[in-house]
Amino acid sequence: MKFLFSLISLFLIPGSAIGLYAALVAVFSNHELWVPLTIGFGSGLILSILIIRHFLWFTTFEHEFTHALVALLFFRKIRRFIVTAKKGGCVEYSGGFGGKFGNLLITMAPYFLPTFSVIAVLFIPLVGAQKINYYLVFTGFTLAFHIMNSVSGTYANWSKQQVTNVRGETSVTDIGRIGYIAAFLSITGLTLFSYGIALSMIHSGYPGIWPFLKTVCLASWDIYYELMTRVISVILH
């Protein structure tokens, strides 16, 4: 199952990169979008570096909350949710829908999913015109926070060494458990995919989802088809 998870992530990389680029171009072609988003993003970067990263309980909460949220999306029961300021945290959930593939997504979710940003963009269509600029500032802030938290979390957990968790048990990190190759592919592919979806929705609302998905699938298919065609051509000749 880890191989399939890695293969899907690898497939998503080129198409998601193209889709994300297209979404960025669309957003930055509209000053009513990019100005408040940039203000929020810049503020988020500064505050994340100077203040938020020192509130370890909050960054740990976001990490564990993302595990829990994705587990709930797979109809799992949350059996334990622990967050501490200095000893990290943990989430225990039941087995069930999605099987091992679902477990892999739940495990890696905090490293690629901008949870607060995704929640924020889901409500953008409901925000009134008078408040949309403030809401976009907030959305930009969450994007910056998630980028910083994902980078620091990935760096901290990029190890296969045994660590003592919040329950006093010895185990490996999320990334150590899934393996470096699978972790790299999933973080890269699913990060590009998640942020592409978010920016597409910021620009076009819910109707922006389908064009992005179509771009991801068709672009990745064309790129890998062309690559395989050239490889086979070289081998045969």
Whole-number Å distance between alpha carbons of 146 and 107:
17
Q: Which two tokens stand for residue 153?
A: 């979390």
Q: Measured on CA atoms in the order 72, 64, 152, 104, is the torsion positive or negative? A: negative
pLDDT, tens digit, for every residue of 158-191? 888 777 777 777 778 889 889 999 999 999 999 9
Q: Which two tokens stand for residue 43?
A: 């503020």
Radius of gyration of the chain, Cα coordinates, nearest whole angstrom = 19
Burial of 3 (0-12, 13-18, 19+ CB in 10 A): exposed
Query: 77 phi and psi, to 5 degrees?
Result: -95, 130
**Number of CB atoms found within 10 A of residue 26's CB:** 18
CB 83 within 8 A of CB 102: no
> What domain range includes position 117?
2-236
> How many domains are there within the chain?
1
CB 121 within 8 A of CB 139: yes
Q: Measured on CA atoms in the order 118, 95, 8, 149, is the torsion positive or negative? A: positive
Q: In which residue are the tokens 């990169």 written?
A: 17
pLDDT, tens digit, for every residue of 2-36? 899 999 999 999 999 999 999 999 999 999 999 99
Q: What is the pTM of this model?
A: 0.92
pLDDT, tens digit, for every residue of 79-92? 999 898 888 888 99
